């Protein structure tokens, strides 16, 4: 079922990988800075972002990498985050292209009902929200991230 949603996930993967590339250049102090109103430090937010993305994939497929990021208490490093981001990002693209998004999911141990399309929308929204939080954390330190918005994505597509 083609919905056009896969393009959103292609953008999401591009933005996630671009964010990881930029953050890999930061110092420990920059990665560990926090502020009220954000999820946590850059490291914590990245781990949460990609653990959640694995969870969205699990909602559709029933599978997750071993061990799931959500079970790890320490930062796994940028190479591992990139590998996992590529995996979950590509899986979400495939899901958007091939799955019936009108399917009903029973989440949180069956206590919460939502259509698959809502889970897909949440995955996009969640990524944008946390990338923005990281951008805020870094901008307060005088660090500017590369463009992660749709205009930056369009420019990247045009450069190919």
Binding-site sequence positions for a divalent metal cation: 48, 126, 130
122 contacts: CB under 8 Å, gap ≥ 6: 56
**Residues of the binding site:** 48, 126, 130
For 134, the token pair is: 């990281």
Task: Report phi then psi at 138, rounded to 5.
Answer: -75, -40
CA 17 to chain centre: 9
- In angstroms, how far is the first alpha carbon of the chain from the final one? 27
Collapsing DSSP to helix, strand or coil, 49 comes out as helix
- Please identify which residue in the block is written with the tokens 């597509």: 157
The two beta strands, 104-107 and 112-115, are: antiparallel
Collapsing DSSP to helix, strand or coil, 39 comes out as coil
């Amino acid at each position: 079922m083609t919905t056009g949603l896969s393009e959103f996930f292609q953008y999401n993967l591009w933005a996630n990988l671009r964010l990881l590339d930029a953050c890999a250049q930061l110092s420990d102090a920059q990665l560990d800075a926090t502020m009220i109103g954000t999820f946590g430090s850059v490291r914590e937010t990245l781990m949460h972002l990609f653990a959640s993305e694995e969870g969205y994939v699990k909602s559709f497929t029933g599978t997750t990498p071993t061990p799931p990021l959500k079970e790890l208490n320490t930062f796994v490093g940028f190479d591992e985050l990139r590998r996992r981001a590529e995996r979950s990002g590509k899986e979400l693209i495939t899901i958007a292209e091939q799955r019936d998004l009108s399917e009903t999911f029973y989440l949180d141990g069956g206590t919460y009902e939502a259509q698959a399309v809502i889970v897909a929308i949440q995955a996009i929204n969640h990524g944008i929200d946390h990338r923005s939080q990281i951008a805020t954390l870094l901008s307060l330190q005088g660090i500017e991230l590369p463009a992660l918005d749709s205009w930056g994505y369009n420019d990247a597509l045009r450069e190919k």
